[in-house]
Structure 1
Amino acid sequence: MDLDVVAWVHVADGRMLTVRSRGRGLLYLPGGKREPGEDDWSAIAREVREELGLALDAATFRELGVVRAPAHDQPRHSHVRMACFTAGHSGEMAATGEVDEFRFVGPEDRALLAPASAAALDLAAERGLL
């Protein structure tokens, strides 16, 4: 069974934004599960606001692609299906809510990433963002 999530892919200076959730060892992309009735835009805008205190720009919201990878730290799920999106943002970035830190990473940091985040890094590189 797949765990179905959405993620925000944000690249600055050739490095991709990741977050470390409280109690987790690996880095993830900002985002998460949709709440009942939420579409992709609503879910990702809410998650990014909760995790980083940023407002995403609906006019620049675009699908980057979908990755599928083994689930990390989710014993009851075998895989993660992660729909990846880009969007401009406003506000001052800060680790908030369940997020302990944010960090920009490059291909050399692959070992720090959860499997789906590593797949998203590859997707960003394939799309010319890195």
Structure 2
Amino acid sequence: MDLDVVAWLHVADGRLLAVRSRGRDLLYLPGGKREPGEDDWTAITREVHEEIGLELDEASFQKLGVIRAAAHDQPRYSHVRMACFTSGHYGEITAAGEVDEFRFVGREDRALLAPASAAAFDLAAEHGLL
């Protein structure tokens, strides 16, 4: 069974923003599960605000693609289906809610990413963002 999530891909200086949630060993991308009835925009803006305190810019919101990878630390699911989006933003990045830290990862840090986040990293690279 697939865990269906949305993720925000933000690249600065050739590095992808990733977060570590409380109790997790690997890094993930800002985002998460949709609440019942949420569309992509509503889900991603809610999750990004809850996790890192940013407001996303709807005018620049774009779907980058969808990846599927092995689920990590999700015993009820075998795979993750992650819809990946880019967007401008407002505010300063701060770890909030369930997020203990954020960092920007480059190619040398790819092994620190959960499988779906690593696949999204590759998607960003394919699109020339990294």
Q: Percent identity between the aligned chains? A: 82
TM-score, L = length of structure 2: 0.99
1:24 aligns to what SS in structure 2? coil
Show the counterpart of 2:114: 114
TM-score, L = length of structure 1: 0.99
Q: Distance in 2 between matches of 1:129 and 1:53?
A: 23
Q: Distance in 1 between matches of 2:109 and 2:92?
A: 24
1:129 aligns to what SS in structure 2? coil
Q: Distance in 2 between matches of 1:12 and 1:77?
A: 31
Show the counterpart of 2:9: 9
Show the counterpart of 2:98: 98
1:123 aligns to what SS in structure 2? helix
Q: Distance in 2 between matches of 1:43 and 1:73?
A: 21
Alignment of 1:70-109 (within 5 A): 70-109=70-109
Q: Distance in 2 between matches of 1:110 and 1:129?
A: 15
- Structure 1 residue 128 corresponds to structure 2 residue 93: no
Aligned AA for 1:103? R
Show the counterpart of 1:49: 49
Q: Distance in 2 between matches of 1:17 and 1:80?
A: 19
Alignment RMSD (CA, Å): 0.5
Aligned positions, number: 130
List runs of 5+ in structure 2 lacking aligned partners.
none
String of CA shifts for 1:34-75, please: whole Å, max 9, x gaps. 001100000000000000000000000000000100000011
Q: How far apart are 1:92 and its partner, in Å?
A: 1.2
String of CA shifts for 1:70-104, please: whole Å, max 9, x gaps. 00001111000000000000011100000000000
2:23 aligns to what SS in structure 1? coil
Q: Distance in 2 between matches of 1:33 and 1:72?
A: 14
2:16 aligns to what SS in structure 1? strand
Aligned AA for 1:64? L
1:104 aligns to what SS in structure 2? strand
List runs of 5+ in structure 1 lacking aligned partners.
none
